[in-house]
């Protein structure tokens, strides 16, 4: 949780409670000089600003104190759908109807991966509505009318979301696999350019269907979260710069990177898709959530042109020897 906070912290409740870092009250850290310091709105506020969005650059976090909320909803509506590839365009058009802003209680994940049974990709959509089932179903009716192969709508405790969503595919006490490297590329969009997204999906479907064994475990995501509470925070409150992002895109490729020809192919495919997403994103300048980067993006894309001078000034003060230089370092 703290690691996600340092970059921002996006999730299903962003529309109601903002980013994770918006709930942060203070940090206790060890600085590059080996000193223990507090960082909050009243103690070292400059460091507190920088840690929230570019926190990998300044210190080691020992403790984090958060503001917490009363239970948002006793039960939430969890809705899962499975679609065949020919539903992709309709799903994207449906997402586009919410482009101006999702209801604060509604969120979506789209996941596309290879299905051996059909020898092509399958599209899974998970929706969560933090309110009564009757309210949530009104928003989800268009998905139900797309003739999903499978669907399930149920009211569940919020604490069960990870284990129940996507038809309960994630086992209890799941941990990330070891010795299973993934090559991840991310994107961010302000508007849903349906032709671009559909073109990518068709190319992605062809790719993973052509060599399914070599790309076993590869997935493509769209994370579509509300942003009312995120955008209610003034832009200069934290170093996190991109409060206007409508949806996040993740391409997560799983394969043997010792296969140099395949590695070259995948990187070329992903970079081409990323260029297309940037060109049609609707942003005046490229934007990307730092935790979803590949590692080769320029710093303006990660931290913004507006924030970089202030961040570099903080770096000179809190880490002049550039000890913290391993995750999108402000100073090379």
Nearest CA to 303 out of 21, 29, 56, 42 is that of 56
Per-residue pLDDT, 17 = 97
The DSSP line for 7-60 is H----TTHHHH--GGGGEEEEEEEETTS-EEEEESSSSHHHHHHHHHHGGGTEE
Q: How confident is the model at residue 201 (pLDDT cuts 50, 70, 90)?
A: very high
Give the Cα separation of 22 and 211 in Å (integer).
43
Phi-psi region of 18 (alpha: psi -120 to 50; beta: other; left: phi over 0): left
Whether 177 has a pLDDT exceeding 80, the answer reads no
Give the Cα separation of 294 and 271 in Å (integer).
10
Whether 67 has a pLDDT exceeding 90, the answer reads yes
Whether 180 has a pLDDT exceeding 90, the answer reads no
Report helix, strand and coil shares of the chain as percent, to nearest 5: 40, 25, 40
Q: What is the pLDDT of residues 246-267, one digit of tens each?
A: 999 999 999 999 999 999 999 9
| The length of the chain, given as a count of residues | 332
Q: What is the pLDDT of residues 276-328, one digit of tens each?
A: 999 999 999 999 999 999 999 999 999 999 999 999 999 999 999 999 999 99
Nearest CA to 269 out of 210, 203, 212, 218 is that of 203
pTM score:
0.95
Whether 170 has a pLDDT exceeding 90, the answer reads no
What is the percent of the chain where pLDDT is above 90? 92
Average pLDDT of span 16-32: 97
Q: How confident is the model at residue 62 (pLDDT cuts 50, 70, 90)?
A: very high
Average pLDDT of span 155-168: 93
Q: How confident is the model at residue 175 (pLDDT cuts 50, 70, 90)?
A: confident
Q: For the beta carbon of residue 328, count every other beta carbon within 10 angstroms.
A: 20
Average pLDDT of span 85-112: 97
């Amino acid at each position: 949780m703290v690691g996600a906070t340092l970059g921002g912290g996006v999730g299903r409740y962003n529309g109601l409670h903002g980013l994770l870092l918006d709930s942060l009250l203070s940090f206790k850290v060890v600085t590059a000089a080996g000193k223990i310091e507090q960082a909050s709105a009243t103690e070292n506020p400059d460091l507190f600003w920088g840690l929230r969005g570019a926190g990998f650059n300044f210190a080691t976090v020992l403790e984090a104190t958060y503001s917490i909320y009363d239970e948002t909803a006793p039960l939430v509506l969890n809705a899962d759908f499975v679609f065949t590839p020919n539903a992709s365009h309709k799903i994207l058009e449906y997402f586009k109807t919410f482009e101006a802003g999702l209801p604060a209680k509604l969120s979506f994940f789209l996941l596309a991966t290879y299905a051996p049974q059909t020898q092509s990709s399958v599209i899974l959509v998970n929706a969560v509505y933090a309110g009564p089932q009757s309210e949530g179903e009104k928003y989800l009716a268009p998905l139900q009318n797309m003739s999903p192969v499978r669907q399930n709508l149920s009211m569940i405790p919020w604490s069960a979301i990870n284990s129940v969503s996507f038809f309960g595919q994630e086992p209890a006490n799941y941990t990330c696999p070891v010795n299973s490297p993934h090559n991840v590329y991310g994107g961010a969009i302000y508007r849903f350019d349906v032709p671009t997204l559909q073109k990518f999906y068709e190319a992605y479907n062809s790719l993973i269907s052509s060599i399914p064994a070599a790309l076993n475990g590869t997935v493509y995501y769209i994370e579509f979260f509300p942003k009312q509470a995120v955008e209610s925070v003034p832009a200069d409150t934290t170093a996190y710069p991109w409060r206007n992002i409508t949806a996040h895109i993740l391409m997560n490729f799983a394969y043997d990177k010792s296969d140099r020809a395949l590695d070259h192919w995948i990187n070329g495919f992903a970079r081409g898709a990323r260029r297309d997403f940037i060109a049609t994103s609707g942003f005046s300048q490229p934007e990307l959530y730092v935790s979803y980067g590949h590692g080769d993006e320029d710093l303006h894309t990660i931290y913004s042109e507006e924030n970089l001078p202030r961040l570099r000034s903080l770096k000179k003060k809190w880490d002049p020897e550039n000890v913290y230089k391993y995750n999108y370092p402000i100073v090379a």
